[in-house]
């Protein structure tokens, strides 16, 4: 694992803790040769899942990203990033 992969995993662990506090199920995945990602599951609707990545920009700033390249928040603002992930996985009941 490279230093970048290690730092990405550290950011994702902090996000995982925040999401677990909101009752989401999370699993950190680190496949060989790929950046680590956080698999997030809405336990009320297990089909609602999303993978979150952490990556840095050219200026060195770390950000959280949804799997479909949607930037969701600065890595230092874990609370806002968790809220945005939750909103993606939220199910509205009618």
Question: pLDDT tens digits, residue range 17-27?
Answer: 999 998 999 99
The alpha carbon dihedral of 22, 25, 31, 34 has a sign of negative
pTM, entire model: 0.90
Q: Scanning the structure block, which residue is given the tokens 């992969």?
A: 5
Q: Per-residue pLDDT for 76 more than 60?
A: yes
What is the predicted pLDDT for the residue at 52?
97
């Amino acid at each position: 694992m490279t230093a970048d992969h290690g730092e990405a995993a550290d950011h994702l662990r902090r996000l995982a803790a925040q999401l677990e506090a909101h009752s989401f199920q999370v699993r950190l995945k680190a496949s060989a040769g790929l950046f680590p990602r956080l698999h997030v599951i809405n336990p009320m609707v297990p089909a609602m899942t999303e993978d979150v990545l952490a990556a840095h920009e050219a200026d060195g700033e770390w950000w959280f990203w949804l799997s479909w390249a949607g930037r969701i928040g600065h890595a230092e603002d874990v609370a806002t990033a968790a809220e945005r992930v939750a909103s993606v996985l939220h199910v509205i009941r009618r």
